[in-house]
Amino acid sequence: MLAPNVRVMAKPRWVPKLVYSLLWPVLWARKLRDVGIIRTWQLWGSWAAIIFKLLLRSKLILRQGFQFSKFVKERRWLYLLATFFEKLAYMVADKVITTTKEDKNYIVWRYGIDSRRIAVIPNWIDTRLFRPMDEVEKERGRIIFVGRLERQKNILALVKAVKTIPDVKLYIFGSGSLETEVSREIEGFENIRLMGVIPHEKLPEELNKSEIFILPSLYEGHPKALLEAMACGLPVIGSDVEGIREIIEDGVNGVLCGLDSESIREKILLLASDRGLRERLGREARRYVVENFSFEKLFLRELEVHRELLSDY
């Protein structure tokens, strides 16, 4: 149930999303003319907020997950479009919230944005929901992957790696454009299972059933799936790429791997064969998330950003 001071202004079902995103600022301008701050949670689609700010002179907080332009350089037209829109959004925003220091440094370097206008506030985790569950029995050799079945997640390299390790079982939770291809790849391999999408509230139990969590992505922003697994006290394996290496300190709170299937296989075997290492990494992973990504701590940092802008409104 929503608080009495919260109002939802829903999109009519018959209006296409893109059309509505362009018309929304104009349609609601009169009713929202006293709004002090408008905020977005993703860069994609934030043009609606930019139009709203320009119309009503409200303050704009732009939160984004990762820099899209970094990962489309080989597609020139898309890269040019992405860089144009990113620069426009960052120039118009009164405050930018990014989830990692690497992203902040990139925005300052690539677009010349004043670093004082950028706050680094990572994704928060519900550490009461995502926690170690002593009442849940672990399945020996069980590895879990949670994420979209897209090339970004490097899922085919993971499948290839696990095919050669018969003593482990890989449970894949998620869906995406590679689902059919993954299904073909795992045909005949009883130790790899496609589980589909799971309700978020049921995910902690599935994580706790597992001995290892793995995320071998080609790139990431600030992956919540990884942090949720760490909050459950799982030892984690993540690829040594931007977004993941800011979270995992290799050998301390997790293990970093390469992007190729052989490197992934090597790290799986390392953890699967060493229970003491798994337990130590899992304890440190839980401690790290509680100390750095709990809702209670990050909420206060978000609140301070809003207060700072409202004081000038």
SS3 content of the chain, % helix, strand, coil (to 5): 45, 15, 40
Domain that holds residue 93: 17-124+295-310
Tokens of 80: 């040019």
Residue 219 lies in a domain: yes
Do 265 and 185 share a domain, yes or no? Answer: yes
Residue 168 lies in a domain: yes
Task: State pLDDT tens for residues 222-276.
Answer: 899 999 999 999 999 999 998 899 999 999 999 999 999 999 999 999 999 999 9
Residue 3 lies in a domain: no
Separation of alpha carbons 189 and 159, rounded Å: 10
Do 99 and 173 share a domain, yes or no? Answer: no
- Residue 1 pLDDT greater than 60, yes or no: no
Separation of alpha carbons 170 and 144, rounded Å: 6
Do 151 and 276 share a domain, yes or no? Answer: yes
pLDDT of residue 70: 75
Residue 303 lies in a domain: yes
Residue 131 lies in a domain: no
pLDDT of residue 168: 94
Does residue 186 or residue 28 have the better pLDDT? Answer: 186
**Domain count for the chain:** 2
pLDDT of residue 2: 62
Q: What integer best gives the mean pLDDT of the chain?
A: 90
DSSP SS3 for 73: coil
